[in-house]
Amino acid sequence: MNLTDTIKDKRLKEVADKVANSIPVDEADAFAMLTTNSILDLGSIAHFIRQKLHGRNVYYGVNMNLNYTNICELRCPLCAFSKDKEEDGGYTLSLMEIEKRVSEAVNAGIDEVHIVGGLNPDLKLDYFEEMLARIKRIKPDIFIVAFTAVEYDYFSKLNNLPLETVFRRLMDAGVNALPGGGAEIFAQDVRNIIAPKKISGKRWLKVMETAHGLGLRTNATMLYNHLEQPRDIVDHLFQIRALQDKTGGFKAFVPLAFHKENTAIKTDRSGTTTGYDDIRIYAASRVVLHNIPHIKALWMYLGEKMAQTMLLFGADEMGATYYNEKVVHAAGAKTPDFGSEGFLKRLIMDAGMTPVRTTAGYGDRTDRDERL
């Protein structure tokens, strides 16, 4: 039986037909997927694509999270992590402290460091260059995924340097790839409420385009479960897809479920998503973003049980061990802040799939021009 024959829902049959014939879905199809209750049909379509791309493989990483400062000029209402400079609980890690933490994690066997932080005006570019150089000295082949598009834009302004120069200097110091944070939701009316001072969606895409042009590969994220409507999700997905058509630089798309605890966002949605919401978002993302290889279900955000379930709804990656994660836990995530490798492998094998340990480079650690 072919894919279309297995789908009962009339509207989703049209989507399945396009997918089976490798025709990109359109915005109306995306809207239909994001509002359907036929989640098993939707899951079958997303799983078809996921299996075609990755078979039974599920990727995971063994890494540490390094949140070097929580002091941030922007104080976005959506953020539970940031502090003002003089506020209790504000911190900036010294380079020595960073070295100590990375050395400990390297001794524990990590392959990758994931670095993001607040926009702290006291930290100039030399702090980051030295941070990266010290990390590479501890383990020269460690994979460094560092700084969001929002941070690169800020470094450029704060240091009065062109964006490309900032990228080149930090690549020379050791950056291997970019995480995809700061995208939130591109729709400006929602962005004005949840992150009014953050760079626009248009600027976020421009920073990513610049990174891709320099040979850096990146993730892309989308924050959902706050004030967004299905049309905003559709807009976000299609803007990402359009840039990917142009650059091919996105390796993974990562939907992030918003946690509202300790944030300033007033929404009548509860602090957690519904299972149907998660499934519709992940599966629709897999189908719309046919040109991005990986869809990540971060167990840290979704909870391990839902992340595992998502492996049948389009996701092929579980995220990583994330030793010492701070950002989502500041907003009330109930998951442990460190999942052991054994724990992640068990989740994957329990779903009848094959765990594949990787980094954000997906196995390729060659030099800058060839990597990823």
Applying CB under 6 A, the residues found at the interface with ligand SF4 are 72, 74-76, 79, 81-82, 118-119, 150, 195, 198
Positive/negative CA dihedral, 291, 224, 12, 297: positive
Q: Which two tokens stand for residue 120?
A: 């702290």
- At its nearest, how many Å lie between ligand SF4 and the CB of residue 326? 10
Closer residue to ligand SF4 in complex, CB, 183/252? 183
Terminal-to-terminal C-alpha distance of the chain: 36
- At its nearest, how many Å lie between ligand SF4 and the CB of residue 8? 42
Closer residue to ligand SF4 in complex, CB, 174/179? 179
Q: How many CB atoms lie within 10 A of CB 68?
A: 24
Closer residue to ligand SF4 in complex, CB, 25/300? 300
Q: How many CB atoms lie within 10 A of CB 301?
A: 25
3-state secondary structure of 115: strand
- At its nearest, how many Å lie between ligand SF4 and the CB of residue 39? 31
Whole-angstrom distance, CA of residue 195 vs CA of residue 72: 13
- At its nearest, how many Å lie between ligand SF4 and the CB of residue 210? 19
Closer residue to ligand SF4 in complex, CB, 256/307? 256
Closer residue to ligand SF4 in complex, CB, 82/272? 82
Residue 110 region by backbone torsions, left for phi larger than 0, else alpha for psi between -120 and 50, else beta: beta
- At its nearest, how many Å lie between ligand SF4 and the CB of residue 106? 26
Cα distances from 47 to residues 40, 124, 233, 317, in angstroms, run 10, 45, 20, 13
